[in-house]
């Protein structure tokens, strides 16, 4: 009986050490999204270029698409923009832009200057849609399947190198989207 008095605390200690070691192996910048595997939050918002028209996430049912959260004031958005444009134009990826906490005139000017890869871009001036999607900052992207389920969240800019941040590389995202298209 006395030996059990030492075994239980030892087991608890070993379990805590194992949990801490597991946590140390994870990237602190990568917070897993609780939305992955769940239906994308429904929203309706004004289109950036045609404010009298509304866009709804439900308009995309039956299509695999990417929601790209961006802003004209975001330096990293500028870095990834060329890659998002290439995904849309060269690979036919359907990309919807969510202009986050931005002024419409600034956003329009930015797209005019750098090109517009979006089938539409909608305004989220107050950040309410971003909150529903768990956006921590910009840029972020969400890959949404034909059933309207979020299948992947991309935190930070999409990159062109599998070495930099492999889960954010164009090649991995294109392969993932193509798999979803085939389902």
Q: What is the pLDDT of residues 122-161, one digit of tens each?
A: 999 999 999 999 998 999 999 999 999 999 999 989 988 7
**pLDDT for the residue numbered 144:** 98
The class of domain 34-182 in CATH terms is: alpha beta
pLDDT (0 to 100) of residue 30: 54
Mean pLDDT, range 23-41, rounded to an integer? 72
For the chain, the DSSP string reads -HHHHHHHHHHHHHHHHHHHHHHHTS-TT-PPPTTTTSBPPP-EEEBSS-TTSEEEGGGGTTS-EEEEEE-TT-HHHHHHHHHHHHHHHHH---EEEEEES--HHHHHHHHHHH----SEEEEETTSHHHHHTT--SSSEEEEE-TTSBEEEEEES--BS-TTT-GGGBHHHHHHHHHHHHH-
- pLDDT at residue 19, rounded to an integer: 74
What would the pLDDT profile of 69-116 be if each residue is shown by its tens digit? 999 999 999 999 999 999 999 999 999 999 999 999 999 999 999 999
pLDDT of residue 166: 66
Q: What percent of the chain has pLDDT over 70?
A: 90
Q: What is the mean pLDDT of the chain?
A: 89
Query: Does the pLDDT of residue 1 top 60, yes or no?
Result: no
What mean pLDDT comes out for the span 6-21? 76
Look at residue 169 in the predicted model and tell me its pLDDT: 81
* Average pLDDT of the residues in 25-37: 66
pLDDT (average), residues 35-60: 95
pLDDT computed for residue 139 by the predictor: 97
Decide: pTM greater than 0.85: no
With bands split at pLDDT 50, 70 and 90, how would you rate the model's confidence at 180? Answer: very high
- Res 24: pLDDT: 64
């Amino acid at each position: 009986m006395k030996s059990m008095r030492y075994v239980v605390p030892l087991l608890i200690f070993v379990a805590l050490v194992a949990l801490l070691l597991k946590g140390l192996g994870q990237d602190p910048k990568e917070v897993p999204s609780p939305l992955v595997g769940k239906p994308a939050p429904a929203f309706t918002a004004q289109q950036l270029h045609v404010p009298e028209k509304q866009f709804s996430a439900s308009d995309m049912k039956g299509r695999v698409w990417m929601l790209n959260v961006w802003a004209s004031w975001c330096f990293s958005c500028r870095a990834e923009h060329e890659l998002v444009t290439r995904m849309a134009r060269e690979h036919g990826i359907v990309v919807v832009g969510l202009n986050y906490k931005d002024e419409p005139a600034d956003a329009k000017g930015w797209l005019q200057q750098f090109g517009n890869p979006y089938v539409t871009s909608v305004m989220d001036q107050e950040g309410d849609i971003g909150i529903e999607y768990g956006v921590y900052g910009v840029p972020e992207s969400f890959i949404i399947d034909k059933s309207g389920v979020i299948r992947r969240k991309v935190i930070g800019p999409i990159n062109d190198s599998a070495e930099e941040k492999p889960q954010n590389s164009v090649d991995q995202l294109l392969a993932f989207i193509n798999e979803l298209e085939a389902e």
